[in-house]
Amino acid sequence: EADIYQTPRYLVIGTGKKITLECSQTMGHDKMYWYQQDPGMELHLIHYSYGVNSTEKGDLSSESTVSRIRTEHFPLTLESARPSHTSQYLCASSAGTGLTGELFFGEGSRLTVL
């Protein structure tokens, strides 16, 4: 089993609230990712990190922000949630030199914004 953990698993909040989705991995992987997944659709990369103090935006534009202060921790923050942010958010990590290695995923955080 992969050692990557996400909290909370489920979150229901009102519009305008600030939320942080937590992601931690104990595998020592340099690369970490946040994906957004909607029913019947492919995963979309919204943020990734090569290592500590490195963050990059992914293919899908997102109003969220991320930080990478420690190797094992890669939280995602939404300053003001809106109903359009309702989705499943998956955190992942990988080893190796590129961005195409095997992804190890957390179990996801399902966000519902009312």
Partner 1 sequence: KNQVEQSPQSLIILEGKNCTLQCNYTVSPFSNLRWYKQDTGRGPVSLTIMTFSENTKSNGRYTATLDADTKQSSLHITASQLSDSASYICVVSDRGSTLGRLYFGRGTQLTVWP
For position 108 contacting partner 1 by CB under 8 A, the verdict is yes
Contact 6, 106 (CB under 8 A): yes
Per the listing, tokens 């309702």 go with: 86
Only one of the segments 14-22, 68-76, 79-87, 103-111 lies at the binding site for partner 1 (rule: CB under 8 A); that segment is 103-111
11 is a site residue for partner 1 (CB under 8 A)? no
Binding mask 22-41 for partner 1 (x = CB under 8 A): ------------------xx
List the one residue from 103, 111, 113, 114 that touches partner 1 (CB under 8 A). Answer: 103
Residue 62 engages partner 1 in binding (rule: CB under 8 A): no
Q: Which residues contact partner 1 (rule: CB under 8 A)? A: 2, 4, 40-45, 90, 92, 97-100, 102-103, 105-108
